[in-house]
A and B are shown apart, each in its own frame.
Chain A
Amino acid sequence: MMKYSVLLLSFFFSQWSLGIVGGHEYVFDDGDEVQNETRAQLFEKLAVELRCPKCQNQNLADSNAMIAGDLRRELYEQVKSGNDGESIINFMVDRYGEFVLYRPKMNTMTYVLWFGPVALLLVGLVCLVFIVRKRKQNNALTDDFSQEQQKRLNELLEKDKGDDHV
């Protein structure tokens, strides 16, 4: 409790910010107050968005592989010294390929990935509209039929009644 209150106090009276990733605290104190806060947030964001190149389905924050630890440290150093998100992402992609991006870049290789679901949804909607319209048309047809024929049907029934006593 003591530790946390000291931490909280020092937080209000100093200019550094904390980024918390994978249960560890990372201190950002190289810039002014606003810079440190945005850097801490950038660090937390990128640690979740970058994928560990070794362990397939974990991000840098979650993985305890050696390479993930190294990359977390690299990420921390780069963010702390004020590199922007884009240059850090390029640094990672240049070395480990686009595999490390959980949010893939938009290019000819990833168009299907980005737009595939929307395209499928549109195809589904078009099919739905088509089917609904067709059904309405069919219903309208049967309605017309019964209206047109109703009079005749009644006449026939009426006539039939007349012949009943034979």
Chain B
Amino acid sequence: MKRWALFIPFITFTLLGFLLWRGLYLDPKDIPSALVDKPFPEFSLPTLIGEELKTQSSLEGEVTLVNVWGTWCISCKVEHPFLVELAERGVRIIGVNYKDENDAARKWLVDLGNPYEYSVDDVDGTLSMDLGVTGAPETFFVDAKGVIRYKHQGVITQGTWAPLEKIWLSLVDESKQAVNP
């Protein structure tokens, strides 16, 4: 047998070892969203406050963060103050109130501040199912044409905003260029 062939098991072992070692540092919860680069799903839901009917076309015209939240969701309480801050800075945020009790949700917005231009009442979770939501909070970055461009799972806080801000700014730039090319 040729001498180099003796190294085949060693090389195989090294390659396999490297693959498994890489695997240790991958996040199994990091599932790519099926909806990125697709238009925001159609919906027709009443707003939480005022019960005005809204559809997907109300998202268009401006870059929007669509934030899925609920009063039963503890992490939503964690990110809420930062969402209020973002709204004050001029980020347009629309809420999807996911399988929640309306009174509790309205009280939450009164007590903690309301960062949302409006929240739609997704009491059956139909819109959330069309969005492929697996839990709250989840935030969708929707461009001015109403296309989902990015999905963030988990809280948005000061700590996690930096990379997200880049995405948001690039979308804002894009929408400005579309207006004045």
- Residues on A lying within 8 angstroms of B by beta carbon are 53-54, 56, 65-67, 70-71, 74, 93-99
Task: Assess whether A96 is in contact with B125, with CB atoms less than 8 Å apart.
Answer: no
Residues in B with CB closer than 8 Å to A65 are 135
B6 CB, nearest partner CB in chain A, Å:
14
Shortest distance between the CB of A72 and any CB in chain B (Å): 12
Do residues B34 and A56 form an inter-chain contact, with CB atoms below 8 A? no
Task: From known contacts A54-B135, A67-B134, infer whether A95 and B125 are also in contact, taking CB-CB under 8 Å.
Answer: no
Interface of A, helix, strand, loop or mixed by DSSP = helix
**Chain B, interface residues (CB within 8 Å), range:** 10 to 19
B35 and chain A: residue at smallest CB distance: A95
Assembly CA distance A96 to B119 (angstroms): 23
What are the residues of chain B within 8 A of A96 when measuring CB–CB?
Answer: 31, 34, 132, 134
Q: Which residues of B contact A99 (CB under 8 A)?
A: 31
Interface hits, B19-40 → A, CB 8 Å: 28-29, 31-35
Q: Cβ of B129: which chain A residues have Cβ within 8 Å of it? A: 70-71, 74, 95
Inter-chain contact B130/A53, CB cutoff 8 Å: no
**Chain B: which residue is nearest A52 at the CB level?**
B134
Q: Within the assembled complex, what's the spacing in Å between the Cα atoms of A90 and B158?
A: 37
Query: Knowing A53-B134, A95-B35, A97-B132 touch, does A70 contact B28 (C-beta < 8 A)?
Result: no
Partner of B34, one of A67, A70, A71, A93: A93
- Given known pairs A56-B28, A56-B29, A70-B125, the reply for A95 and B34 (CB within 8 Å) is yes
Instruction: Give the 3 A-B residue pairs with the shortest CB-CB distance, closest first.
Output: A97-B34, A95-B132, A54-B134
- Taking the complex as formed, is B142 at the interface, i.e. its CB lies under 8 A from any CB of chain A? no
Chain B residue, CB-CB nearest to A134 = B1
Residue in chain B with minimal CB distance to A54: B134
B131 within 8 A of A: yes
Q: Do residues A53 and B28 form an inter-chain contact, with CB atoms below 8 A?
A: no
Across the interface, do B31 and A95 meet the contact criterion of CB distance under 8 Å? no
Q: In the bound complex, do residue A95 and residue B32 qualify as a contact, i.e. CB atoms below 8 Å apart?
A: no
A71 to B130, CA, bound (A): 11
Closest to B32 in A: A97
Q: Please name all residues of chain A whose beta carbon is closer than 8 Å to the beta carbon of B32 when the two chains form the complex.
A: 97
